[in-house]
Copies of this chain bind each other. A is one copy, B any other.
């Protein structure tokens, strides 16, 4: 190692040390930084100057260090210059979140779209457009986007940015990183892992929990002492394929009786429909479930934004992604995306998916609020299955708390109790304490927020990578 290389490595390490302390303690004087890091005041001043120049920290006016001290200048993370984007492709929506380095969410974009019936390249093109609009807005407000992370619902090869298999999208081995072509580096990561990190950084603030991402699929992310548990290959947390009943309905993963077949969004919607087959009534396999959906007559192929509410479909005009809060003014929503040149099968599948979307979680919520027995029973059953699968999860990974997110956030008033009751009934005799079941405050935005948060963590851990050396 030459002396110059050694010097660069030491400078990089010290930049990270100083930025890490500023980030952890919110604001610090240079004198305090020198004391904490063990560096000289001169070195700290030089490092802080570099971090200011890179737009990572700012000075925040003179403060007095107690009675006897001279006025010092506080240094804190800059929230007005560097930003990260968090992206998500899920089965029925796209999401883009812009978060500044001070971890304030600056821009939220969620687009309801049926990605099951679209080709990966088309979904990626759509996400790129949505992202570039958000980036342009961020630039207009003075932010510089330095990187992104993309959340996808399936196991990901982190090194190549390829999603191996997203069964609910029907995708296999799609090299997302290279296809996305954005003007900044983008890594790809599993949606459920990122949702757990979103909960850690932007949610409850708990350090130990299992976060459950309920969507069309069901993923989980385990956080232990503030760190994500990934397993040997990064594929841990596939809660949706934990076995609830070994001879249950065939799952798209190839297994049988997976949790997803009882408590995934499709299973729940199907069970709640007045004309839907009960997912467990005859253990129908996945293709039967699919056929049952296709067989439901909506002759006009109504798109959900134009369909008129009727007795069996009262709220089809509502936005079709689950949102624990009211839709925000800056949230763009578009209709289901019809790919060009789709073959008849794809078109039929798209229609079925649109019909399913037309009876989305908001529709279920309206039925629940109206006291509809079928909807209540669907939630009871989904909550029970979730409780059974979580019982296995608690036995295996011993979380301190369980956070229900995604569609389970708005459904929490109707499923939270049955999940907790099922857990207590099965675990209470063996354990002194059964992990509490709590609701996520983030819902479907959790994964994209975690994605943006991961970029910010990376910048704080290695600021030298952003500096002109």
Chain A residues in contact with chain B, CB under 8 A? Answer: 155, 164-165, 167, 208, 220, 224, 229-239, 241-246, 253-256, 388-389, 391-393, 395-400, 425-432
Contacts and interface: CB of A to CB of B under 8 A. Distances in A.
B231 A429 contact: no
Contact of A164 (B389, B396, B426, B432): B432
Contacts of A391: 241, 243, 255
A398 B432 contact: no
B241 A430 contact: yes
Contacts of A427: 253-255
Nearest first, the 7 A-B pairs at minimum CB distance are A231-B398, A254-B429, A232-B400, A238-B395, A255-B426, A236-B398, A253-B430
Contacts of A400: 232-233
Contacts of A426: 243, 253-256
B165 A430 contact: yes
A392 B394 CA distance: 12
A407 to B, nearest CB: 20
A78 B229 CA distance: 37
A237 B392 CA distance: 10
A273 B25 CA distance: 66
Contact of A208 (B167, B232, B243): B232
Given A243-B244, A388-B243, A392-B243, A231 B399 contact: yes
A389 B393 CA distance: 11
A242 B392 contact: yes
A430 B167 CA distance: 8
Contact of A429 (B239, B253, B393, B399): B253
B229 A229 contact: yes
